Amino acid sequence: MSETVTKAAAEAVVAAQVTGTDPASVPATTGARQFRRRLRTQRAALVAACVVALLVLVALAAPLLTALEGQDPTTYHPSLIDSARGGVPVGPLGGADGDHWLGVEPQTGRDLFARLVYGARVSLGVALAATVFQVAIGVTMGIAAALGRRWVDQLLSRITDVFVALPLMIMSLALLAIVPASFPRPVLVTLVIGLLSWGNIAKVVRAQTLTLKELDHVSAARLSGWGPWRIARRELLPGLAAPVITYAALLVPQNITVEAALSFLGVGVKPPTPSWGQMLTAADVWYQAAPQYLLLPAGALFVTVLALTVLGDGVRTALDPRAASRLRVGTGRRRENKAAAAAEQGVSS
């Protein structure tokens, strides 16, 4: 892909969702404190953070929760489904009762609550682990391209371009089909997402590093006599933290969606391991007999992605309040005016 547009695209992604933080404008040590304060001022982000925390807790405590219910996600309950009617759950509310809090899966009779809770594990686990891969590869490639010699930059940028051009869903769809089923699927999905989709973050990191590199304080550190390692560690990396964290916060919900989509298509996480996307595969057939079989995983996905997106917006705002003010809920003329007034104040003080 041509350089201009990938650059522009990466920038637009940055523009649409992430923030290239002005490296010089972030006062840091006080940063952590300031960050928490700014995060706290956003009610929506705070609620989202609570939701995410709850989801993580549920995922971690999945065995505990299912033990409490007295079920597990893989046991079939043929007695709970009506095979004469094609396998719909027996009883009202899709078979929900004291034993099976949210009912059972059509056809198999597996416990829905247990599958939902274990599904959270898979969704969050895969998304987070894939994000770690993406960030690790992206940051390494981006920094290497920005700091390397001209030909290193050329080479790495080309490679990055190609990876940006590869359609992630298509590639992972195809890749996942070829690897033998014996390979643990969640790990495989993680690897595929992580290894294929690091292009944009590499571009963001490269651009940011190039900007940082030109800052006078980096030159000053060179003049002080420090070597490249120390300069990278003390002067460059801290400046990269804000955009990388912001971008990573954006990648998590994206990865959740991709994992769900792959599992929905039947090539991602495969049964018996539960996954929200996979649960939706057959949901349309059963929506009349067992609506919660559709609504629960869809709702879980929606809430999770929404919470993570809002939290990501919040993180961005906290790290770069100026830019993010335009994306936030309820931003408007009043806030814009305030900002204008503040800018004016900056000019005149």
Partner 1 sequence: MSRLSALKGLSSLSGLSGLKDINGLRGLSGFAVLSGFGGFLVRRAVGVVLTLFAVSVIVYVVFYVTPGNVAQITCGPRCSPEQVHQVAQQLRLNDPLYVRYWHFLEGLVAGQDYSTGTSVEHCAAPCLGLSYQSDQQVTGLILTKLPVSLSLVFGAMVLWLVLGVGTGVLSAWRRGRPTERVLTAVTLAGTATPVFVIGLILMIVVCGELQLLPFPQYVNLTDDPEQWAWNLLLPWLSLALIEAASFARLTRAAMLETLAEDHVRTFRAYGVAERSIIARHALRGAFAPVIALNANNFGSAVGGAVLTETLFGLPGIGQELVHAVNVVDLPVVVGMVLVIGFFVVLANAVADVLYALADRRVVLA
Partner 2 sequence: MSLVDVTDLTVEFGALRAVDGLSFRLAQGAALALVGESGSGKSTVASALLGLHRGTGAVVGGSVRVAGTDVRAASEEELRRLRGGRAAMVFQDPLSSLDPYYAIGDQIAEVHRVHTRVSRRAARARAVRVLERVGIPDAARRSRSRPHEFSGGMRQRALIAMALACEPDLLIADEPTTALDVTVQAQILDLLHTLREETGMGLLLVTHDVGVAAESVDDVLVMRHGKLVEQGPAGTVLAAPAHAYTRELLAAVPRVHVRREAETLESRAPGSGDPAALGQGGTGHESVGRPAETEDVRQPDGPSADASDEPAEAAEAAETAEVAETAETTEAAETAEVVLEASGLRREFGRGRRAFAAVDGVSLTVRRGETLGVVGESGSGKTTLGRMLVGLLEPTEGEVRYRGRARAGVDPTVQMVFQDPVSSLNPRRSVGESIADPLRARGEKDEARIRRRVTELLERVGLEAAHYDRYPHEFSGGQRQRVGIARALAADPRVIVCDEPVSALDVTTQAQVVALLGELQRELGLALVFVAHDLAVVRQVSDRVAVMRRGRVVEEGPADEVYESPRDPYTRQLLDAVPALDPAVAARRRARRRSTERREPALT
Rounded Cα gap, residues 91 and 73, in angstroms? 20
Cβ atoms 189, 262 nearer than 8 A: yes
* Partner touching 219 among partner 1, partner 2, none, CB below 5 to 8 Å by kind: partner 2
* Partner touching 344 among partner 1, partner 2, none, CB below 5 to 8 Å by kind: partner 2
Rounded Cα gap, residues 204 and 139, in angstroms? 9
Task: Kindly identify the residues of this chain, within the stretch 308-337, that bind partner 2 according to CB under 8 A.
Answer: 333-334, 337
* Partner touching 53 among partner 1, partner 2, none, CB below 5 to 8 Å by kind: none
Cβ closest to partner 2, residue 182 vs residue 349: 349
Site string (121-160) toward partner 2, x via CB under 8 A: ----------------------------------------
Q: Which of 8, 12, 30, 41 binds partner 2 (CB under 8 A)?
A: 30
* Partner touching 238 among partner 1, partner 2, none, CB below 5 to 8 Å by kind: partner 2
Q: Is residue 12 near partner 2 by the rule CB under 8 A? A: no
Q: Which of 58, 221, 250, 300 binds partner 2 (CB under 8 A)?
A: 221
* Partner touching 31 among partner 1, partner 2, none, CB below 5 to 8 Å by kind: partner 2
Q: Smallest distance from the beta carbon of 318 to partner 2, in angstroms?
A: 16
Q: Which of 13, 15, 31, 309 binds partner 2 (CB under 8 A)?
A: 31
Q: Per DSSP, what are the bridge partners of residue 82?
A: 88
Q: How many residues bind partner 2 (CB under 8 A)?
A: 36
Q: Smallest distance from the beta carbon of 296 to partner 1, in angstroms?
A: 12
* Partner touching 29 among partner 1, partner 2, none, CB below 5 to 8 Å by kind: partner 2
**Three-class SS of the chain:** CCHHHHHHHHHHHHHHCCCCCCHHHCCCHHHHHHHHHHHHCCHHHHHHHHHHHHHHHHHHCHHHHHHHHCCCCCCCCHHHEEHHHCCEECCHHHHCCCCCCCCECCCCCCEHHHHHHHHHHHHHHHHHHHHHHHHHHHHHHHHHHHHCCHHHHHHHHHHHHHHHHCCHHHHHHHHHHHCCCCCCHHHHHHHHHHHHCCHHHHHHHHHHHHHHHCCHHHHHHHHHCCCHHHHHHHHHHHHHHHHHHHHHHHHHHHHHHHHHHHHHCCCCCCCCCCCHHHHHCCHHHHCCCCHHHHHHHHHHHHHHHHHHHHHHHHHHHHHCHHHHCCCCCCCCHHHHHHHHHHHHHHHCC
Q: Is residue 75 near partner 2 by the rule CB under 8 A? A: no
* Partner touching 226 among partner 2, partner 1, none, CB below 5 to 8 Å by kind: partner 2
Q: Which of 151, 170, 216, 288 binds partner 2 (CB under 8 A)?
A: 216
Q: Which of 215, 285, 289, 298 binds partner 2 (CB under 8 A)?
A: 215
* Partner touching 215 among partner 2, partner 1, none, CB below 5 to 8 Å by kind: partner 2
> Which class for 151: exposed (0-12), middle (13-18), buried (19 or more C-beta within 10 A)?
exposed
Amino acid letter, 71: Q
Cβ closest to partner 1, residue 80 vs residue 308: 308
Cβ atoms 244, 205 nearer than 8 A: yes
* Partner touching 253 among partner 1, partner 2, none, CB below 5 to 8 Å by kind: partner 1
Q: Smallest distance from the beta carbon of 224 to partner 1, in angstroms?
A: 25
Q: Which of 4, 25, 182, 288 binds partner 2 (CB under 8 A)?
A: 25
In angstroms, how far is the first alpha carbon of the chain from the final one? 47
Q: Which of 178, 223, 229, 288 binds partner 2 (CB under 8 A)?
A: 223
Q: Would you tell me which residues interact with partner 2 (CB under 8 A)?
A: 23-31, 215-217, 219-226, 234-235, 238-239, 333-334, 337-338, 340-342, 344-345, 347-349
